[in-house]
Amino acid sequence: MTPIDLDAFDSGGGGQAVVLAHAIGCDARMWQALVPVLRDRFRVLALDARGHGASALTPRPYSLAGLADDFARALDTRGIERAHWVGLSMGGMIGQAFALRHPDRLLRLVLANTTSSYGHEGRTIWEARARAVTEGGMAAIKDMVMARYFSEGFRAAHPEVVEKTARHFLAVPAQGYAACCDAIGELDFTGSLRRIRARTLVIAGEEDTGAPVAMSQVIADHIPDARLAVIAGAAHLSAVEKPDEFNALVRQFLAAA
C-alpha cells in the first residue's frame, strides 16, 4: 500500500493521545459525541481511514496491516510516540493489527463492536459485499447496513440520525469501501490475541447482529486480563446509538489509575 497521510481532527493539547478509529462506511464524524468527552483530558485524534472521508483513495487491495501502518504514520507526523486506541468495528480490527504490529506505541486499547475472525466464511462474506458496492454503488447495501448499524427501536425513534449516517455512508467511495472489504476478508487475529499486553476494554452491543456479543467474548477471553462490557439495547454503532453509555465506559477506562 502506497504511504499516505490520513486526514484527521486533532484537538491538540498536552495530554496523552487517544486515536479514534471509525467503522467501515463511516468517517471521523462518527465520533462527534465522544470527542468533547475526552478532549479536556486527552489529545484526541479522530482519523479518516484510507478510502474514507477526506483521506486518499488508493488502489485495491488494502490490508489491515497496511491500514494500521497508516495510523502509525499519522502519529509519526505529529511527533506522538504512544497513544490510546478506541476502535469500533473496522476500527477495532485495525486496532488489533496496530496492537500486534506496534505494541510499544500502544497505551490502552478499546475494541468495540468488532471481531477477531469471521471464521471460514469471512472471505466469502466480504468478497460479496465488495462486489455489491463495486457493481451497484453504496446505495446497493445502504438499507442493509443501516439495519445493522442501528436497532429497530432506534431507527423508528431517531430517523434523523439514521438519515445523517446514511448520507455520510453514501458519500464513501465505493472503491474505498470495497478495498476495506478486502482487508476485512483476511481477518484472522484470534490466535494472536494473547500477544497483546495493553490493558484492554472490549465493548459489545446487546443487539449487534454484525458483531454479536459472542465475538466480543472471544476477544475478551483471549487478550490477557481484558474486560467485556455489554451495552443494553445497542446495535452495531453503539457509540452513536448509546453515546452516554459508550462515552462513560471509554472515559472511565482511559482515565482510571
Domain-embedded: residue 203: yes
Q: What pLDDT, on the 0 to 100 scale, is given for residue 257?
A: 83
How many C-beta neighbours within 10 Å does residue 88 have? Answer: 31
Alpha carbon distances (Å) from 222 to 73, 163, 227:
28, 37, 11
CA end-to-end span of the chain, whole Å? 38
Q: CB of 174 within 8 A of CB of 33?
A: no
User: Is 247 contained in some domain?
Assistant: yes
The answer to whether 169 and 76 have CB atoms below 8 angstroms apart is no
**Element holding 17 (H helix, E strand):** strand 17-21
pLDDT at 67: 98
CA angle 133, 136, 140 (to 5 degrees): 75
Q: What is the mean pLDDT of residues 101-114?
A: 98
- At residue 44, what are phi and psi to the nearest 5 degrees? -100, 125
Identify whether 129 is part of a domain. yes
pLDDT by residue (tens digit) across 194-225? Answer: 999 999 999 999 999 999 999 999 999 999 99
Q: How far is CA 127 from CA 10, 55, 119, 121, 152, in A?
A: 34, 23, 14, 10, 27
Q: How many CB atoms lie within 10 A of CB 161?
A: 16
Residue found under cell 465475538: 215
pLDDT of residue 14: 85
| Nearest CA-CA partner of 109 in 244, 225, 248 | 225
DSSP result, 136-157: H-GGGTHHHHHHHHS-HHHHHH
pLDDT band at 174 (very low <50, low <70, confident <90, very high): very high
User: Which pLDDT value is given to residue 77?
Assistant: 96
- Find all residues with CB under 8 Å of 110, minimum gap 6, and list them: 84, 85, 86, 87, 95, 200, 201, 202, 203, 250, 253, 254
Percentage of residues of the chain with pLDDT beyond 70: 100
Domain range spanning residue 220? 8-255
Please give the share of the chain, as a percent, with pLDDT higher than 90: 98
Whether 58 maps to a domain, the answer reads yes
1 in any annotated domain: no
Grid cell for residue 31: 465520533
pLDDT average, residue stretch 228-238 = 98
pLDDT digit string, tens, across residues 5-41: 999 999 998 899 999 999 999 999 999 999 999 999 9
Say how many domains are in the chain. 1
Under 8 Å between Cβ of 173 and 179: no
**CATH assignment at residue 195:** 3.40.50.1820
Is residue 3 in some structural domain? no
Supply 124's cell numbers: 466469502
pLDDT value for 13? 86
Average pLDDT over residues 48-77: 97
| Contact (CB, 8 A) for 210 and 234 | no
CB 35 within 8 A of CB 244: no
Q: Is residue 2 part of a domain?
A: no
Q: How far apart are CA 148 and CA 151, in angstroms?
A: 7
- Residue 75 resides in a domain: yes
